[in-house]
Amino acid sequence: MTYDLPPAYAFLADEPAPRMLLEALRLYGTLEAPGKRDNPVILAWADELAKVPGLAWLGSWYEEDSIPWCGLFMGIVAHRAGKPVQGDLLAARGWLDWGNAVDGEPVLGDVLVFWRGSRHGRSGHVGLYVGEDAEHYHVLGGNQSDAVTITRISKARLLAARNLYRYAQPDNCRRIEIAADGDVSENEA
C-alpha cells in the first residue's frame, strides 16, 4: 500500500507488521476540521468503537474533534487490528495499563505513552514508535498538530512503552535509527 509519507519514513510503506502500525498508516494524514466544524472520519471512529462491549458511552460522549483524540486514534487502530481496547482509551495515560510493559528499549510498533505538561500530572499523549534519534522518539499518532502525523517527541517525556508480545513478536519489530531532523513536538493537544 502507498502512503504519502515524508521521505525519512518512506520505509514504513514496506513494513509487513505489526498490525497496529499497518492500521495507523492507513489513517496517516487524517486532519481535524478547523474551527467549529468536525471531521466526520474522526467522529466515526468514536461511533465504531461505541459498538465494542463496554464502550457504548463513547458514541454519545465524543461529539467533536476538538476533544483530544490521540487515545481515540489508538483505540480505533487497536480495534481494527483485532487487538483489545480498554475502557479508558480516551485518556492517553490510560494506555499505561494496556498490554505488557516493554522490557528494554521500545521497537517498531510499540505503544509509547508520554507525559504532557507535567510528569506527575494527568495530561499525556500516546502514539506508536516508528523510530528514534539520539534525543527523540519518532511517533506516529493522532492529534499531533491536529492530524495523524509522525512527529519527534523527547525521550525524556516517555512514561512507558507497551506491547502485546509476551513471547514472540514479528521479526521486523526492531529499533530504527532515523536522522534527527524536523520539528520537535512540545505539546500534542
123 occurs within a structural domain: yes
**183's grid cell:** 520539528
2 occurs within a structural domain: no
Amino acid 2: pLDDT: 59
**Which residue, among 91, 99, 118, has the nearest Cα to 162 in the 3D structure?**
99
Cell 492530524, located at residue: 147
Q: How many domains does the chain have?
A: 1
Amino acid 136: pLDDT: 98
Domain assignment of residue 82, given as a range: 7-183
Amino acid 1: pLDDT: 56
Angle in degrees, 0-180, between the axes of helices 70-80 and 19-26, rounded to the nearest 10: 120
Amino acid 186: pLDDT: 87
46 occurs within a structural domain: yes
188 occurs within a structural domain: no
Beta bridge partners of 112: 127, 161
Q: Is the pTM of this model over 0.75?
A: yes
151 occurs within a structural domain: yes
53 occurs within a structural domain: yes
Instruction: Say if residue 18 is preceded by a cis peptide, omega within 30 of 0.
Output: yes
Q: Are 21 and 108 in contact (CB under 8 A)?
A: yes
CA 15/CA 30 separation, integer angstroms: 20
143 occurs within a structural domain: yes
Q: How far from chain centre, in Å, is Cα 134?
A: 21
Task: Return averaged pLDDT per consecutive 10 residues of the chain, 189 residues in all.
Answer: 84 93 97 93 96 91 92 98 91 96 95 96 97 98 96 98 84 93 85
36 occurs within a structural domain: yes
Amino acid 3: pLDDT: 73
Q: Residue 55: what are its φ and ψ, rounded to 5°?
A: -115, 15
DSSP state of 100: E
Strands (DSSP E) along 51-110, which ranges? 100-101
